[in-house]
Amino acid sequence: MTSYPPSKTHKRLYIQEVVTRDGFQAESSFIPTEQKIALINRLSHAGYAKIEVSSFTSPKAIPMLADAEAVMKGIERVPGVEYTVLIPNLKGAERAISVGVDEFNLVMSVSEAHNRANLKMAREDSFAALSSVIVLAHSNKIPTNISLSTSFGCPMSGITSLDDLMYWIDRFAAVGVRGVTICDTTGMANPAQVQKVCEVAQSKYPDLQWTLHFHNTRGMGLANALAAVNSGIDRFDSSLGGLGGCPYAPGATGNICTEEMVHMFDLMGFDTQIDIDALLACSKDLQSLIGRTLPSQLLMAGKVDKLYAAPCQP
Ligand code: COA
Ligand code: ZN
């Protein structure tokens, strides 16, 4: 697609797909393993920097992703794409090492209430457990990323302060993570807040790999992604069709929709390296797979260069 106005920068943006983890974890019926593998294989050829394949959580907590080993073993590993997985504890890390992953995406919440709901423990206990996972990862030469849930707000304890967020970023930076994902788990962030958070975080740790992870729960998702880009962020999580949601956060709904975000950034002249037509085809098939309409407005309306026949004149 041609951008307007024509871009002079063509800044590279790194797009990370989370539909088979954040998207599938909250589904009510189990998606067969071979369907998950087939979708990931198609997405692997669409230009992503990273794909979050699954999570090595307790199958009792997240039954939809109980087949994480089989999915990891079954997918094609396309060169240039990093295959990451969500890891909540040491047991999950050991399972992931047994099948080989490119990154551990560790998870804990900035909000104490959400951490207890999601991970059944206090933040300090999560931090201690994840510190052991980071030691294990380093001894296996696996890079680590920490996804900090409820970084902007929590449905149980309200808006997250920048000080609280920076406190946990400091702790994880000190134990040697490669990257930090700042997650708006239930769509509570606004663009001004995003801009401030991104500026402070990047200026304190310019060498960390920063990712922003937004949900569109209150319709601010793409506005927040734009605020992040304007603050220098170049890496985003997003979900095909806008599927997603945290089973442990009241009112949580889908992530920002990958094809909508890519369509916007492509039109603005950014270099996403994503084949948008391939995404739209995958998103359409995903609707059939889950048996309901996805929140993707782009899937409904088509790209801006789609032309319609003029209505008949009376
Ligand atoms: N993989 C497989 N099984 C696991 C596991 C893992 N990573 N972690 C724990 N288990 C098993 C234990 O072996 C135990 O099994 P048993 O009952 O057969 O003995 C059982 O789960 C309970 O173990 P426990 O250590 O007491 O864990 P818990 O019940 O306190 O659960 C978590 C802690 C973090 C593992 C669990 O809450 C979880 O996986 N949550 C999912 C978080 C998530 O993905 N949220 C959405 C994304 S943000
Ligand atoms: Zn999420």
CATH number of the domain bearing residue 231: 3.20.20.70
Atom from ligand 1 closest to the CA of residue 87: 7
The reported pLDDT for the residue numbered 244 is 86
- CB atoms closer than 10 angstroms to residue 76: 11
Name the domain count of the chain: 1
At position 234, the amino acid (one-letter code) is: D
**What is the model's pLDDT at position 166?**
98
Q: Which residues line ligand 1 (CB under 6 A)?
A: 25, 55-62, 86, 88-89, 91-92, 95, 107, 118-120, 149, 246, 248
Ligand 1 mean position, distance from CA 270 (Å)? 40
Alpha carbon nearest to ligand 1 atom 18, residue = 60
d(CA 282, CA 263): 15
> Which residues in the chain come in under a pLDDT of 70?
2-9
Do the domain assignments include residue 126? yes
Q: Is residue 314 part of a domain?
A: no
In a domain, 306, yes or no: no
Question: Is 307 part of a structural domain of the chain?
Answer: no
pLDDT, residue 311, reads 87
Residue 312, pLDDT score: 83
Q: Which domain holds residue 152?
A: 14-301
| Residue 7 CA to ligand 1 centre (angstroms) | 47
Considering the domain boundaries, does residue 252 fall inside one?
yes
DSSP state letters, 238-270: EBGGG----TTSTT--PBPBHHHHHHHHHHTT-
State which residues have CB under 5 angstroms from ligand 2, the bound ion: 22
**Residue 56 domain-assigned?**
yes
The rounded distance, in Å, linking the Cα atoms of 50 and 48 is 5
| 2 inside domain | no
Residue in the structure block whose two tokens are 């702790």: 171
pLDDT tens figures, 35-81 = 999 999 999 999 999 999 999 999 999 999 999 999 999 999 999 99
Whether residue 6 lies inside any domain: the answer is no
CB 294 within 8 A of CB 282: no
Would residue 246 show up in a list of annotated catalytic residues for this protein?
A: yes
Per-residue confidence (pLDDT) for residue 249, from 0 to 100 = 74
Q: Which of 246, 257, 282, 312 is catalytic?
A: 246
